[in-house]
Amino acid sequence: MIDFQTNPESYNHWKLKFDGSVATLSMDVNPDKTLVEGYKLKLNSYDLGVDIELYDAVQRLRFEHPEVKTVIFNSANEKVFCAGANINMLSVSSHAHKVNFCKFTNETRNSIEDASEFSKQRYLCAVKGVAAGGGYELALATDHIILSDDGSSAVSLPEVPLLAVLPGTGGLTRVVDKRKVRRDRADIFCSLEDGILGQKAVDWRLVDEVAPGSKFDAAVQHRALEMAKTSDRPDEEIGVKFTPLNRKITDDTITYDYVDVKIERNKSIATITVKSPNSDDLAGSTANLAGLTLDEALSAGADFWALAACRQLDDAILHLRANEKEMGTLILKTEGDSATVLAYDDFVNRNQSNWFMREISLYWRRTLKRIDLSSRTIFTYVDQGSCFVGMLAEFLFAADRAYMLEDQFDEDCRPAPSIVLTASNFGSFQMSNGITRLETRFLGEPESVDICKTKIGKKLTAEDCNKLGLVTDIYDSLDWNDELRIMVEERVSYSPDCLTGMEANLRFAGPETMETKIFGRLTAWQNWIFQRPNAVAEGGALKLYGTGVRAKYDMNRV
């Protein structure tokens, strides 16, 4: 099982150091601590295990260290910054693992960019030695790159000439879209095995500045402090410690405090239910929450429901991606008290000027994006006892289809389900395309978004939701089970490959952004090139890497 839970005390590959407003995150990969057997992580190369630790570090820097305004990325290896993804790991990995690895790697890069833009926690990359392939892609995710001008330090994307694959976790896209490197220069750059060094790397916009080796460390520190001045993060706030998740895994269930996952292997279905807090939890009642202060919310720390539920949902999604690849259909449900979820949603929204509440909103946005980017069919069911309010209502709009129960079951005395929209549905949770899920849903009828805004805070019945276009369809209690069963059975009968392609094409209507380009191209490149004989056959470049034997390519252009 691949476990996405870790902590700094358990890191094998990263070291964290703190000095006031500046933190240093040093890459120091242990070559023997691989995720699986069959390769060594030489030259600061990485596998998924290295990136799991990096993601954890980025999350903890945001929540546990509000005083940190600049994060310096560097290497503990003087000669190599990072050699990128480990080639032997790629050559022995399944196709599915390679694609999931690339997706998670890029989501982690996105979280760094998200921290820079929205949390005002700036990232500075100090490149001493060679930053090759994924190593340079890591640098590209930061705000500012300083390259040591020592005659040997260089940046490169050598995948095309060496491996017959591409820097598919955003490298090419960031070079031209983010760094705005000229197309012809980018073409030359991606054709060079040894990369580019010194002032030429600055002139070509591949890095932001160079500093002589003797003055490199001083230049990095100076730049880090200058970048810290642009941050609005607090100086003396106490951070929120990420405590271990209370998670239990069986053959067909994954349970947390506020998230349950039920796996039906014979149907290829995983049902994810997110629950509101109950009266025994902190601020479990709406009355208690109404009087909650920011200090009390901060004291609750990782147990604060809006954060705890998001952490658990994030882990569940990652677990299903990596360990339950045949569960092709995800059903999203909620359970609990709508008034309590509404109170939490309102509390977080009203206090966005507070760093902790801002981080919670941003974490929900990233986790909802992870749902969008999952290569799974997503259905949302709104039935009795559900609490689709505010942040949880986003499940409706993230789904490929959403269905709502119209009335009540005879044996269930709970009221018929309703949905409550809040201000957060209209701006807090943009998708990768830069607009909200409601704006994406109603791309051809923007007036529908305005109509929905007039319904903020109101309990919307199934009939209301159907008229507003918030759900795909509504069914009464007589038809509910049969209609959903038939719909799922039909879906599972289709080709998973076709569904992945169809869903990815349909989910991201609207504007194109660097992020949608990255993931759209990632899907195409990785699913195609990583299966082509030129790369992965016995005589392919990935298989022959390091042997001294050149690959013989099928020269047909497809």
Per-residue CA distances from 265 to 269, 451, 492 (Å): 6, 41, 12
24 Cβ neighbours under 8 A, 6+ residues apart? 16, 17, 18, 71, 72, 74
Is residue 538 predicted with pLDDT exceeding 80?
yes
Q: What is the pLDDT of residue 41?
A: 97
539 Cβ neighbours under 8 A, 6+ residues apart? 533, 551, 552
Model confidence pLDDT, tens digit, residues 324-367 = 999 999 999 999 999 999 999 999 999 999 999 999 999 999 99
Cβ pair 134, 105 in contact under 8 A? yes
CA–CA gap between residue 124 and residue 97 (Å, rounded): 30
DSSP string, 329-381: EEEEEEES-HHHHHHHHHHHHHTTTSHHHHHHHHHHHHHHHHHHTSSSEEEEE
Identify the CA nearest to 495 among candidates 320, 379, 324, 328. Answer: 328
Model confidence pLDDT, tens digit, residues 219-270 = 999 999 999 999 999 998 999 999 999 999 999 999 999 999 999 999 999 9
Cβ pair 383, 416 in contact under 8 A? no
How far out from the chain centre does Cα 154 lie? 29
CA–CA gap between residue 149 and residue 38 (Å, rounded): 36
Q: What is the pLDDT of residue 165?
A: 84
Angle ∠(491,367,322) on CA atoms, nearest 5: 60
Model confidence pLDDT, tens digit, residues 181-220 = 999 999 999 999 999 999 999 999 999 999 999 999 999 9
Domains of the chain: 8-228 (3.90.226.10), 248-504 (3.90.226.10)
Cβ pair 273, 259 in contact under 8 A? yes
Identify the CA nearest to 460 among candidates 469, 450, 449. Answer: 469
Per-residue CA distances from 67 to 90, 338, 532 (Å): 38, 35, 48
134 Cβ neighbours under 8 A, 6+ residues apart? 46, 82, 84, 85, 105, 167, 169, 171
322-350 per-residue burial string, b: 16 or more CB within 10 A, e: under 16: bebeebbbbbbbbebbbbbbbbbbbbbbe
Is residue 287 predicted with pLDDT exceeding 60?
no
CA–CA gap between residue 330 and residue 262 (Å, rounded): 10
Place of tokens 């389900």: 417
Cβ neighbours around 95 below 10 Å, total: 12
Lowest mean pLDDT among 14-23, 140-149, 491-500: 491-500
CA–CA gap between residue 330 and residue 319 (Å, rounded): 13
Place of tokens 């966005």: 352
Residue 519, SS3 per DSSP? helix
